[in-house]
Amino acid sequence: MSGIRRRLTIIGTVSDGFLRASYRIEPDEYTINLPVDRVPSSLRVPNTTFVGLLEGLELVRVEVAGEAWLEIQNKVRDVLNRQWDPLGVGDAVDDEYDMYIEDLYRLVKSNAPKEAIADLLRSIEVARMELRPSPPEKLSIVAGTLRNLRLPDV
């Protein structure tokens, strides 16, 4: 599942069937409308905070293991932005590669070999980004760093 996990705070009701929520991407704060039926009733109260998986501005789901997912996202994001960064935007666009985190996490947690992780990174570069692949040595280093991350179970 691609998407970005955000810590959302309910502001209130917008109209029938929608809640207004906010989230921060430092230094800015953004607001979005969420369909009420996608938010459990216990979380529909103003000032309630939870982690949601967003695809664009659409709430895909509320993450039960939300804080763990934020930790995973932050650790993997850091590696992707600092070491991989095939588009060269890692220091300017913090969440550019977030849509790939869940697939990479699943490989890492399944103890996939470093080569499998490097193959996924190469596939993302070529098939999804339509770029020339990074040198195999670079992909191997990034894959090794990802394999060595201490990530929580979800």
Task: Give the mean pLDDT of the chain.
Answer: 94
Q: If you classify domain 4-62 with CATH, what class do you get?
A: mainly beta
Cα distances (angstroms) measured from residue 110 to each of 11, 103, 114, 146 = 38, 11, 11, 12
Residue ranges of the domains in the chain?
A: 4-62, 66-148
> Does residue 137 carry a pLDDT above 60?
yes
CA atoms of 34 and 75, how far apart (whole Å): 27
Centre a 10 Å sphere on the Cβ of residue 23 and count the other Cβ atoms it contains.
19
For the entire predicted model, the pTM comes to 0.82
Confidence of residue 1 (pLDDT cuts 50, 70, 90): low
